[in-house]
Amino acid sequence: MTEKRRLRGLRLPRLPRRLPRLPERVEDPPIVIRTAPESSEAPPTVPPTFRAISEWVWRSLVIGVGVVALLKLVSILSEVVFPVIVALLLAALLDPLYSRLRIVLPKALAAGVTVLGTLAAIIALFSFVGNQFATQLDDILGQMTEGLSETRDWVESTFDLEEGQITSWLAEQWAVIAEGDQLSTLAAQAGLTVGQVLTGFFLAMFSLFFFLYDGPGIWAWIVRLFPRGARARALSSGAIAWNQLKAFTRATILVAGVDALGIGLGAFVLGVPFASGIALVVFLGAFVPIVGALLSGFVAVALAFVTVGPLTALLLLLVVIAVQQLESHLLQPLLLGRAVRVHPLAVILGIATGIIVGGIIGALTAVPLVAVLNGVAHHLLDPLPEDADAT
């Protein structure tokens, strides 16, 4: 009894009402397997410099192959590509006139009037020059014969040559040209070139109408071909390219007009025949910066040399140099500005590439394309305003 009373008097500790939860999953300790190294030497690694160089090299090769393929495609389709580019240049030049006509005329009628007015101006200009050439042809031939005779006498007296040597050399050169079918081949090539020029001209006028009539719609359709994430940049790049093209064409037409007026007036004052034709050649040549000005000036000086004489040719050369200095140091920087300024090396390389791909038309369209690509590249590669603020 005593033992039972003692057990009853003991108090057992109270258990908590809620027991702590055990983890649902007991993770096993990780098993580490140690393996002995195969060799004590570290595996060879490519230095970071060589790795970066190799990455740049293969990327450059891919870009180069793409550029070559694009130029090859443009060369194959040059009869279509270059008229379209000429139409774009004309559309950028005539856009202010079309915009003013659009205020009082419907879109289609305004575009048609602009295209027909351009055709009328071109036909009137070439008709005037052609009439001047036909009127002065007899005088030009007479002056040219006299000038060539004076030039031959000057060459004979300067280089101590006999008249028979020059005559025999000219006869040999003509025999080489006339030998075989070279003359017929040249005539066939000339006929083919005239046909291609006429076809390209009408294709350019047809494209010009639609560029004026529905240019924004055509560009919107092209933008929809891009991925959705790139459409905004493509749309803004198109606006940059169009502004660059308009600025370039307006500045170039003014520069070409000043060059043609200066050199044409110089030729007229000095008594060089066919001064209007010289002005037209200079006007067209001014659309190809640097190279075009040199070639058109050379044509003017050569015509003055063979028709009037060396002294007049020298004076006209001074006029050409003065006009070109005015163009390069005042007109080009003032009118083109920093927005479309392209380095002279890029201009020369672009003209050379254009001549290789498309001949004369390629040379005419190379510089505006380089200016447009320069502006678009700066727009795409320069950081956005928010990116610039973040950096």
pLDDT single digits (tens) 204-244? 899 999 999 998 889 889 999 888 888 888 888 888 888 88
Query: pLDDT above 70 covers what percent of the chain?
Result: 69
Amino acid at 117: G
pLDDT at 115: 92
Rounded distance between C-alpha atoms, residue 94 and residue 105, angstroms: 16
Q: Is the pLDDT of residue 34 over 80?
A: no
Phi, psi of 296 (to 5 degrees): -65, -40
pLDDT at 389: 46
Maximum average pLDDT range among 65-74, 133-142, 218-227:
218-227
Q: What is the mean pLDDT of residues 306-333?
A: 82
Question: Please, what is the average pLDDT of the chain?
Answer: 76
For the chain, give every domain's residue range: 78-382
Phi, psi of 275 (to 5 degrees): -65, -35
- The pLDDT-based confidence of 286 (bands split at 50, 70, 90) is confident
256 and 286 in contact (C-beta within 8 Å)?
yes
Q: Is the pLDDT of residue 386 over 50?
A: no
Rounded distance between C-alpha atoms, residue 355 and residue 295, angstroms: 14
Q: Is the pLDDT of residue 278 over 80?
A: yes
Q: What is the mean pLDDT of residues 343-365?
A: 77
82 and 361 in contact (C-beta within 8 Å)?
yes
